[in-house]
Amino acid sequence: MSASEQDTPETGPDAAATEADELAERTGLTPRQARLLRVVVGAVLLVVMGVVLAVRLAAHTSVLVVGVYGLAMILCGVVIELSRNGRTRLATWLLAGGLLAALALDWLVLP
């Protein structure tokens, strides 16, 4: 048997079994699906923030309302861009933290 016909560690039967085990253990989203999910969530929340801004402005005309919800809308846009560039974990943490901060400011500061 020549050296080219022997199983190497990279191409042997053990390597194929290891790759199959890794694929079987992986039960999450693919990176592409995660990016797409974050983009869709960011876009939906951007629209929701726009609607909430319009409703809040109809009830209370205040610069603070525009500031809080305007910043939340900007944050949603940043999350969309981060997700498109593959920074999905950062985008998720920013989205969660930013929206919690916007809700806290709405509850604590806005009339």
For 27-54, write each residue's pLDDT tens digit.
788 888 888 988 898 899 889 988 988 8
Q: Where are the domains of the chain?
A: 31-108
Q: Tell me the residue length of the chain.
A: 111
Is the pLDDT confidence value at 97 over 90? yes
Q: How confident is the model at residue 111 (pLDDT cuts 50, 70, 90)?
A: low
Q: How confident is the model at residue 110 (pLDDT cuts 50, 70, 90)?
A: confident
Report the distance separating Cα 94 and Cα 82, nearest Å.
10
106 HSE (CA, 13 A, CB side): 20
Which of 110, 109, 77 minimizes the C-alpha distance to 95? 77
This prediction's pTM = 0.65
